[in-house]
Structure 1
Amino acid sequence: MKSWMVIAAISFLVAWGGNRFLTREGIRWFNRQRRPQWLTFEGAIPLIWIVIFICATWSAVVVWETAPGQPVTWLVMGGYLLLEMVTIAYTPVMCKLRRLKVGTIIGGIGFLLSLLLALLVGKISTTAGFLLLPYILWSPIGTYTTWEMMRLNQEDRD
């Protein structure tokens, strides 16, 4: 089996498995939250994240193909897995706890992990590092958006 198939399958399974924890009640709660007036691109967010996950998966494939099976490569693969798990946890955990603050914290953690991963990956492959740039650029926007939503929704201010 090709490495890209294994990496893509793991990425898909983590995303699918994580979203199995979403509930209708949690989604309804999130949809009832007030949004900033400037949030005109909400409908594009799923597509943006699909592109980000494709780039991150491609980045992982480039790393694996550049240095297959080496200890540092396995460490970096664990970093990709951790980053995806944190990213996927954002919606189900925030909706389960009904706390936008939790989403903001998870978003910030994802941003920090993506920076750390990009630094590690960049030493193996510049291309793989650049493929993490969409995550690094988008994650603060999503985190800031959640923080603004927290400010707009009184029950989530503490």
Structure 2
Amino acid sequence: MAERRSSCKPVLIAAIVAIFIAVLGGTLTDTGPWYQNLRKPSWQPPDWLFAPAWTVIFALATASAVHAWRNAQNRVQREWVIVLFALNGFLNVLWSTLFFALKRPDWALIEVVFLWLSILLPIVAFWRFARPASLYLLPYLVWVSFAAFLNLTVVRLNAPVA
């Protein structure tokens, strides 16, 4: 029983953290008048698509964290799993803060590079010992790549952003 309980602990912790980050990011995402008045490209997905996309991405990131944690070969690797996901969570929330709360898509465009790298880094790091954990993060990397291009386009369409 204790062994089963300990095997559930990483799942519960990862799920709670993912939900917390998702809720925090969602709370910061204000699609009110300021956002609605921004010029956006015709190819931007509809607003309703973002919540389901992020739900899938967070579910896959949670699965990645759990898989990487369980397949880590030692304490140092498990600590790196925590550090990499904590960094990514922080950068994810920071992007929402910059873009929506501070209304600075130009600053968010700079920050999205670091967010993108914070997804690529665990993909590379986990490849040696937890290949599925790396693969679970690929949709996240693709989505943030798309979001970065969208962010760039919004900045260009609304220049100067101040």
TM-score, normalized by length of structure 2?
A: 0.84
Q: 1:94 to 1:114 in 2, by over 3 A?
A: same
Greater Cα offset, 118-127 or 1-10 = 1-10
Matches within 5 A, 1:6-85: 6-20=13-27, 22=28, 27-67=32-72, 70-85=75-90
Provide the rounded CA distance (Å) in 1 between the counterparts of 2:127 and 2:32.
Answer: 37
How many corresponding residue pairs? 155
Deviations 1:80-114 (A, max 9, x none): 11112211221222223221111212222111111
Provide the rounded CA distance (Å) in 2 between the counterparts of 1:19 and 1:80.
Answer: 18
Cα distance, 1:18 vs. partner? 4.7
Paired residue for 1:111? 116
Greater Cα offset, 111-120 or 89-98 = 89-98
Which residue identity is paired with 1:10?
A: V
Contact map agreement 1:118 1:129 (CA 8 A) in 2: yes
User: Structure 1 stretches of 5 or more lacking a match?
Assistant: none
Q: 1:40 to 1:128 in 2, by over 3 A?
A: closer
User: Structure 2 stretches of 5 or more lacking a match?
Assistant: none
Paired residue for 1:96? 101
Paired residue for 1:121? 126
Contact map agreement 2:95 2:112 (CA 8 A) in 1: yes
TM-score, normalized by length of structure 1?
A: 0.86
SS in 1 for 2:160: helix
SS in 1 for 2:128: helix
Which residue identity is paired with 1:44?
A: L
